[in-house]
């Protein structure tokens, strides 16, 4: 058993802390947000993630997991300190490192014995060196420490599984012995562990997310061409995916990517390239295509209704993906704003993101369920591919609507079925079937 401190009880920090506790370690999670810490002590989760509440409760009851706002308490017995605080997007697309700086300084001022400090947050290349400088500047004594980069690869909605069954664990440090000590924490997972230098480890995270975002934008570009040429992008993606060099993952055309990672990380990588005199043309195209997909959905709706002013539009889904309540950079927010700018009245429903929606989209009317959402609507847009939406009583939905118009931004319905039900249906890149289905 090792003694671990996780700094930050947001998405990455809480998942990291509770999973290490479940592996038998003693973990203290520290955060300056007193309300979050008190809620966690009471078993109230700050985020929605399947299985998280049960995992937190079990490990708290076992005495392996605790929460505090005191760095001195959190570091008292620590051997490893994982920095897992937010790095939001800055003014020019760069990562804002103010919370990383605060965490590093707080660690430095409270540390009384040697520590291995692990950067778990997604940080720009070179941040590991910068964190080490902050620790040296603010530590009260000459206590030894090492900095290790350990980027996270957690998908919201599947984060616990991703931690426990990772594709790989990436570690980077100027001190290989320190990296190998962190590697020992992950040995129970029987995962591939890659040890490299600090900057390479940091770059692996950005390159991975940028590549996945590129795949999404690529298939969305193909979907637009499919619509023009009469091909079905779902069939195209399936045919492509059988090629082992390509694979099926991240080839679902839709309204684009969102969330706390892809939008921010692609922008940050482009920013890092630009300030070093490079020209990230591909990254710029990835971002441009992603924004276009939201506009394209709204244009389809405008064509179907002959204009949007005074129309009642319902959004099926608010979270940026299923199995999370995260609405950061969600396509739903951008689509809602465009609809409202065109004079439409926007309503929405999401299985778990309603609380977040009340805060992030206060001018959007919220419905209690998909059927109350559909009542009186001139059109519906599928924004999030929740399983609940795949199993709706579509005939009932049709009868409740003022006009049976449905824009399927995630291609979860079959065009022929929708036509038989009497819907005017448009998907994304569904070829000739996608046009004039009414």
Which are the catalytic amino acids? 261
Place of tokens 């692990």: 118
- With 0-12 / 13-18 / 19 or more C-beta atoms within 10 angstroms meaning exposed / middle / buried, residue 159 is buried
Distance, CA of 371 to CA of 349 (rounded, Å): 10
CB 174 within 8 A of CB 198: yes
Task: Output phi, psi for 313, to 5 deg.
Answer: -115, 130
Q: Cβ neighbours of residue 111 under 8 Å, at least 6 residues apart?
A: 75, 135, 139, 140, 143, 145
Task: Output phi, psi for 155, to 5 deg.
Answer: -90, 130
The rounded radius of gyration (Å) of the Cα atoms in the chain is 24
């Amino acid at each position: 058993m090792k003694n671990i401190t996780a700094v930050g009880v947001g998405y990455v920090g809480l998942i990291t802390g509770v999973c290490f506790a479940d592996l038998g370690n003693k973990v203290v999670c520290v955060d300056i947000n007193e309300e979050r810490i008190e809620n966690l002590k009471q078993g109230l989760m700050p985020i929605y993630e399947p299985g998280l509440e049960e995992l937190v409760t079990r490990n708290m009851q076992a005495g392996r997991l605790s929460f505090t706002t005191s760095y001195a308490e959190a570091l008292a017995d620590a051997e490893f300190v994982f920095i897992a605080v937010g790095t939001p997007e800055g003014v020019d697309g760069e990562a804002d490192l103010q919370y990383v700086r605060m965490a590093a300084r707080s660690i430095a001022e409270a540390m009384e014995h040697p520590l291995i400090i692990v950067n778990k947050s997604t940080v720009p290349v070179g941040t590991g060196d910068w964190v080490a400088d902050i620790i040296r500047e603010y530590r009260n004594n000459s206590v030894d420490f090492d900095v290790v980069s350990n980027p996270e690869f957690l998908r919201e909605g599947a984060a616990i599984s991703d931690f426990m069954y990772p594709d790989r664990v990436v570690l980077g440090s100027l001190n290989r012995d320190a990296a190998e000590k962190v590697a020992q924490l992950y040995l129970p997972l029987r995962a591939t562990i890659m040890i490299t230098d600090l900057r390479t480890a940091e770059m692996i995270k950005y390159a991975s997310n940028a590549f996945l975002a590129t795949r999404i934008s690529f298939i969305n570009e193909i979907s637009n061409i499919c619509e023009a040429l009469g091909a079905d992008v779902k069939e195209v993606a399936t045919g492509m995916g059988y090629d082992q060099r390509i694979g099926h993952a991240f080839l679902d055309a839709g309204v684009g990517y969102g969330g706390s990672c892809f939008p921010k990380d692609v922008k940050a990588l482009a920013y890092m390239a630009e300030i070093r005199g490079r020209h990230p043309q591909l990254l710029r195209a990835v971002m441009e295509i992603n924004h276009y997909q939201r506009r394209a959905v709204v244009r389809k709706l405008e064509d179907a209704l002959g204009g949007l002013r005074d129309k009642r539009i319902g959004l099926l889904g608010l979270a940026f993906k299923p199995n999370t309540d995260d609405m950061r950079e969600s396509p739903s927010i951008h689509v809602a704003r465009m609809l409202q700018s065109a004079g439409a009245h926007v309503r929405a429903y999401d299985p778990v993101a309603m609380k977040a929606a009340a805060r992030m989209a206060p001018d959007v009317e919220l419905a209690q369920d998909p059927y109350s959402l559909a009542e009186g609507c001139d059109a519906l847009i599928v924004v999030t591919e929740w399983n609940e939406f795949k199993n709706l009583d579509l005939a009932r939905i049709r009868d409740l609507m003022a006009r049976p118009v449905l824009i399927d931004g995630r291609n979860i319905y079959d065009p022929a079925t929708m036509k038989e039900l009497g819907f005017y249906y448009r998907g994304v890149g569904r070829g000739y079937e996608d046009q004039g289905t009414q």
